[in-house]
């Protein structure tokens, strides 16, 4: 793989002829294309948000959704967030793009409210560099005010990577967000730099149990044990658990039995455009 090849090219020092492998060349070209394209993606209106429901595992009711960014460059096929978000983080483009996602998701939520939809929560993914900006909290407050949304309607999802190097600004941002009433969600729980101490040091509201614990659940006694333990800790700490990547009714049933509160996954719906999601939260007319 190209990342591994890049690593070897770098670590082999002066033997830089290794740099020019065809796959590395392709990697560099793709990377440059993403970087250049990202600079104009917003103004060219190539970005869209899809919404995926978060469902109460007991009742099946939709209680929230997650905003997931989609990029459809004018030329070439769509590029998945796992490929362009890291580039956006490295180039700083995550700041304008991330603010656009927050603003657009909140605008959409307020519009559904105005149309009489069920009152749901909006979860938005936020990258670590965004939390390092001292202006971030003010910007979130301004967005909520602009769309006249109560702060508790917004949930900010961060991954465990925030704890890799939790500098003073990150701590302050997370504390100010929770003081403001915004909900904090720990995404992909169990896959990163897991340490239970940060559950103590930060006031999370939601734990998202990573898909890797869910996919084999029906066959893996270990995964069942882990999910049961995570749910039990979460309940004792008054955290809500959301299981990610639920694809079967069997997984839903087991997760519900293990004490997990909410779920998200293809079983309920893939991430879908706002126009489709709207039908899921609008009362039947």
Residues contributing to the site for Mg ion (CB under 5 A): 125, 157, 187-188, 244
In the complex, minimum distance from the CB of residue 240 to ligand C2E, in angstroms, rounded to a whole number: 16
DSSP letter string, 173-190: HHHHHHHHT-EEEEEEET
Residues 150-169 touching ligand C2E, rule: CB under 6 A, are 157
Within a 13 Å sphere around the CA of 15, how many CA atoms are in the beta-carbon half?
9
Please give the torsion angle defined by the CA atoms of residues 139, 67, 169 and 205, in that order, rounded to the nearest 10 degrees.
110
**CA–CA distance, 97 with 86 (Å, rounded to integer):** 12
Identify how many contiguous H helices and E strands the chain contains and give both numbers: 12, 9
Residue placing its CB nearer to Mg ion in the complex, 9 or 243: 243
Tell me the per-residue interface mask from 180 to 209 with ligand C2E, x by CB under 6 A, - otherwise: -------xx---------------------
Interface with ligand C2E, residue 265, by CB under 6 A = yes
Length of the chain: 285
Choose the one of Mg ion, ligand C2E, none that binds residue 103, judging by a C-beta under 5 to 8 angstroms depending on kind. none
Q: In angstroms, what is the minimal distance from the CB of 21 to ligand C2E?
A: 28
SS3 label, residue 159: strand
Tell me which of 177, 213, 271, 274 binds ligand C2E, using CB under 6 A: 271
Among 127, 162, 182, 186, binds ligand C2E (CB under 6 A): 127
125 or 252: whose CB is closer to Mg ion?
125
Binding mask 28-57 for ligand C2E (x = CB under 6 A): ------------------------x-----
The nearest distance, CB 248 to Mg ion, in angstroms, is 18
Minimum distance of ligand C2E from residue 39's CB (angstroms): 17
Check: CB of residue 224 under 8 Å from CB of residue 258.
yes
Which one of Mg ion, ligand C2E, none is in contact with 245 (Cβ closer than 5 to 8 A by kind)? Answer: ligand C2E
* Phi-psi label, residue 244: left if phi above 0, alpha if psi -120 to 50, beta otherwise: beta
Both tokens of 74, joined, read 């004018």
User: For residue 220, what are the CA distances in angstroms to 6, 45, 208, 225, 281?
Assistant: 36, 44, 19, 9, 34
User: Is the separation of the CB atoms in 216 and 198 below 8 Å?
Assistant: no
**Among 38, 65, 93, 101, contact with ligand C2E (rule: CB under 6 A):** 101
Q: Which does 104 bind (CB under 5 to 8 A by kind): ligand C2E, Mg ion, none?
A: none
| Contact (CB, 8 A) for 87 and 55 | no
Least distance in angstroms from the C-beta of 234 to ligand C2E: 17
Could you tell me the end-to-end alpha-carbon distance of the chain, in angstroms, rounded to an integer?
Answer: 52
Q: With contacts defined by CB under 6 A, name the span among 9-17, 227-235, 239-247, 277-285 that binds ligand C2E.
A: 239-247
Among 60, 80, 92, 273, binds ligand C2E (CB under 6 A): 80
- Strand segments (E) across the chain: 47-56, 62-71, 121-125, 154-159, 183-189, 206-209, 240-243, 262-263, 272-273
Binding site for ligand C2E (CB under 6 A): 52, 68-69, 80-82, 85, 98, 101, 125-127, 157, 187-188, 244-247, 264-266, 271
């Amino acid at each position: 793989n190209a990342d591994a090849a890049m690593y070897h090219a770098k670590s082999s020092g002066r033997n830089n002829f290794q740099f020019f492998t065809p796959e590395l060349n392709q990697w560099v070209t793709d990377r440059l294309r993403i970087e250049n394209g990202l600079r104009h993606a917003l103004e060219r209106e190539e970005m869209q948000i899809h919404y995926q429901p978060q469902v109460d595992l007991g009742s099946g009711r939709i209680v929230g959704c997650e905003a997931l960014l989609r990029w459809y460059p004018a030329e070439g096929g769509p590029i998945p967030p796992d490929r362009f978000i890291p580039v956006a983080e490295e180039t700083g483009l995550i700041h304008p793009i991330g603010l656009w996602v927050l603003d657009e998701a909140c605008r959409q939520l307020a519009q559904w409210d105005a149309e009489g939809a069920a009152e749901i929560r909006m979860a938005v993914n936020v990258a670590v560099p965004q939390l390092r900006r001292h202006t971030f909290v003010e910007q979130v407050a301004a967005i909520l005010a602009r769309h006249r949304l109560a702060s508790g309607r917004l949930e900010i999802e961060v991954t465990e990577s925030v704890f890799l190097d939790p500098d003073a600004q990150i701590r302050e941002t997370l504390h100010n967000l929770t003081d403001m009433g915004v909900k904090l969600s720990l995404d992909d729980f169990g896959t990163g730099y897991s340490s239970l101490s940060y559950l103590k040091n930060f006031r999370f509201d939601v734990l998202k149990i990573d898909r890797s614990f869910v996919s084999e659940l029906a066959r893996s006694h270990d995964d069942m044990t882990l999910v049961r333990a995570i749910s039990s800790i979460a309940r004792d700490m008054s955290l809500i658990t959301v299981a990610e990547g639920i694809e079967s009714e069997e997984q839903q049933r087991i997760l519900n039995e293990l004490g997990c509160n909410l779920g998200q996954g293809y079983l309920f719906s893939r991430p879908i455009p706002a126009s489709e999601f709207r039908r899921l939260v609008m009362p039947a007319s």
